[in-house]
Amino acid sequence: MNLAPAEDTPVYPDVGALTGSATLEEVAGALLTFTLIVAVLMLIVCGATWAIAASAGNVGTAAKARVGLFVALGGAVMAGGAMAWLNWLIDVGSTL
User: Would residue 9 count as lying in a domain?
Assistant: no
Burial 16-40 (b: 16+ CB within 10 A, else e): eeeeeeeeeeeebeeebeebeeebe
Q: What is the dihedral of CA 66, 69, 70, 71, to 10 degrees?
A: 120
- Mean predicted confidence (pLDDT) in 30-46: 90
What is the domain count for the chain?
Answer: 1
* CA distance linking residue 2 with residue 73, whole number of Å: 61
User: Would residue 42 count as lying in a domain?
Assistant: yes
* CA distance linking residue 39 with residue 73, whole number of Å: 7
Whole-number mean pLDDT of the chain? Answer: 82
Q: Which domain holds residue 84?
A: 26-95
User: Would residue 57 count as lying in a domain?
Assistant: yes
User: Would residue 7 count as lying in a domain?
Assistant: no
pTM: 0.66
Under 8 Å between Cβ of 47 and 62: no
Structure confidence at residue 86 (pLDDT): 78
Structure confidence at residue 14 (pLDDT): 55
First-last CA distance in the chain: 31
| Lowest mean pLDDT, pick from 9-18, 30-39, 58-67, 85-94 | 9-18
| 16 has a pLDDT exceeding 70 | no
Structure confidence at residue 91 (pLDDT): 80
